[in-house]
Amino acid sequence: MTRIVIREAEKTDAEIIQSIILNAYNQYEQHLPQDRWEQYQEDMKDAVHNEKVKARIAAELDGELVGSVFLYDSSEAAYGLPELGIHSPIMRLLAVTTKARGHGVATALIRASVNRSLLWGAETLHLHTNDMMSSAIKLYERLGFERAYDKDIIKGESVVKSYRLLLRSEYSWVTASC
């Protein structure tokens, strides 16, 4: 039986987390123009050490670090976009190694993000994604995230879709232990 442990990421985890993120998102390189892909990679690397990250959550599977997610407290902190008007936690760069997928690691990281957001007194948890991340979108929707069209980000001709989860203690998957 596999065992998932969710914990705070430590500074010593930074290099491994960066590698997990880059490897997990590498599948999307073919969907982006080269200049946007290179910028996206730089943004991912910067996030690992960004002081605006409010929480870095790590996931271990059978003792091995296999996933992470970052939480920001606003759209200004997450994207430098105060005009989006998001003043509640934003989940970014959810990443799970390919070999650990299918074991519930992403769900455990989302659950931890929800629980952390509730501890902070938040009423909503946001994230942004796009159509190339279709399996992630299916997971988010299955867990109760709904589209928040008013918080979409337009980048050139593409739309970075906003999703929002209304945080309520009655969500059974939220209150289940990690």
SS3 category, 107? helix
Q: Quote the pLDDT of residue 1.
A: 57
- Residue bearing the bigger pLDDT, 169 or 162: 162
Query: Average of pLDDT values for 149-164?
Result: 89
Q: Quote the pLDDT of residue 96.
A: 95
SS3 category, 68? strand
Q: Quote the pLDDT of residue 172.
A: 44
- Residue bearing the bigger pLDDT, 168 or 10: 10
50-75 pLDDT, tens digit per residue, is 999 999 999 999 999 999 999 999 99
Give the CATH class of 4-175: alpha beta
Contact 164, 148 (CB under 8 A): yes
Residue 173 has pLDDT above 60, yes or no: no
Domain ranges of the chain: 4-175
Q: Quote the pLDDT of residue 178.
A: 41
